[in-house]
Amino acid sequence: MANFKKATSIKDWLNQRLAIEKVEKVMGSEYWIPKNINFLWAMGMVLVITFAMLLVSGIFLLMYYQPNVDLAFDSVNYTIMREVDFGWLWRHVHGVAASVVFLIIYIHMFTGIYYGSYKKGREMIWISGMLLFVAFSAEAFSGYMLPWGQMSYWAGMVITNLFAGGSLHADGFVEWIRGDYVPAQAFLGRFFMLHVLLIPLAITGLIGLHFAALRIPHVNNQDGEEIDFDAESKKYLAGDKAGSKVMRFANDFMSKDMMVVGVYLVFFFYLVFFNYSFAMDPVNFDPADGLKTPAHIYPEWYFLWSYEILRPFSVDLGLILFAFAQVIFVLLPFLDRSPNAIAANRRGPMFMIWFWLMLSNMIVLTAMGKLPPEGIYSSIGFVSAIVFVAQWLALPFITSFEKKV
């Protein structure tokens, strides 16, 4: 038995039992952040806050939503939107956050690529982050099924059909996923479960892993400088705050983090109150109808780039390239053969071009994915899809020629 003394205060009482001072140091005041960073380093906190808003708004929606094919549509569009006081707020926060969270994830990802934050011991940060991207994609898709509108139904039809594996014709497998020949009650029930329990559970666990992966290598900095965190933190604690290259996470860096979050929240609630319709597809305000395909089916904007890689090819090749696009980002730390873990603009012209071409090509793919698959748009999408694949195949070669800076 440990030696417990009569407590002198509530804090001391807790400290003896839970070591709260130690925990506070490990998690906050002695968790060290480099000083040489910019606002892009706040995206992690922006994502945490957005996830919290999704969770809270989701809890309120969950109390009135009915996971039944006959009731789901009205429980969302009538009960929640018209009867529940402030029901519209939860729905619009949930819808807007589900869309904006992907914008921030993409910024977070491309910041990591630009500054080389996936190398030299930071591989697990990158891999856990990409697993989070996959989990968020599954969460977004399963949530999109729930209002049971036309887009819900047909997106469910098209995406589950992907699992037939093209020429493999695994129709039995598709029917197993759906629990029916077409998306119906069994399908809605299981995707409801996935959306409100299993995937959020997985996301929470992965967030824990993502944070844990940060502890040993620490956060990267703008110059990719390898900082001796032990020496620099000793310097800081000895009083040389200006000379040290690091600062405390809480409350020092966090105050800047929350400043960025504040600006973000103003933008976010501007969207929620005045411009939410971009996250609410008008087609999904028609109830699901298995005998009528909407004239033009497209996914939400954040899936368009990979959808466009699927679209211009015959079914098997399209599926293979689609699968390639889904997993290839995970392998980035191993495909990048360069010894440099620094910002793209200092790694020589090859990687610099690679980075900006990748970013702009994905924007082109996104735009083409939204347009009907006809004429010039088909051709641009086709070329862009090939450029995307070619860039990834070229990456190990162009980076292995890179000289050590």
What is the C-alpha separation between 56 and 190, in angstroms, rounded?
A: 22
Q: How far is the CB of 156 from another protein (least distance, A)?
A: 10
Q: How far is the CB of 177 from another protein (least distance, A)?
A: 8
Q: How far is the CB of 290 from another protein (least distance, A)?
A: 5
Nearer to another protein, 118 or 322 (CB): 322
- Structural tokens at position 149: 């509108």
Nearer to another protein, 13 or 173 (CB): 173
Nearer to another protein, 1 or 295 (CB): 295
Closest Cα partner for 231 from 246, 221, 242? 246
Residues of this chain that bind another protein (CB under 8 A): 154, 157-158, 161-162, 166-167, 169, 171, 175-182, 184, 186, 190, 290-297, 311, 313-316, 318, 372-374, 378
Nearer to another protein, 88 or 313 (CB): 313
Q: How far is the CB of 193 from another protein (least distance, A)?
A: 11
What is the C-alpha separation between 246 and 242, in angstroms, rounded?
A: 9
Nearer to another protein, 282 or 290 (CB): 290
- Structural tokens at position 255: 């105050």
Burial 285-321 (b: 16+ CB within 10 A, else e): eebbeeeeebeeebbbbbbbbbbbbbbbbeeeebbeb
Q: How far is the CB of 183 from another protein (least distance, A)?
A: 8
What is the C-alpha separation between 24 and 252, in angstroms, rounded?
A: 14
Q: How far is the CB of 178 from another protein (least distance, A)?
A: 8
What is the C-alpha separation between 57 and 289, in angstroms, rounded?
A: 28
Nearer to another protein, 170 or 387 (CB): 170
Q: Write the CA distances from 357 to 37, 65, 119, 351, 390, integer angstroms.
A: 24, 43, 21, 10, 11
Q: What is the DSSP letter of 62?
A: H
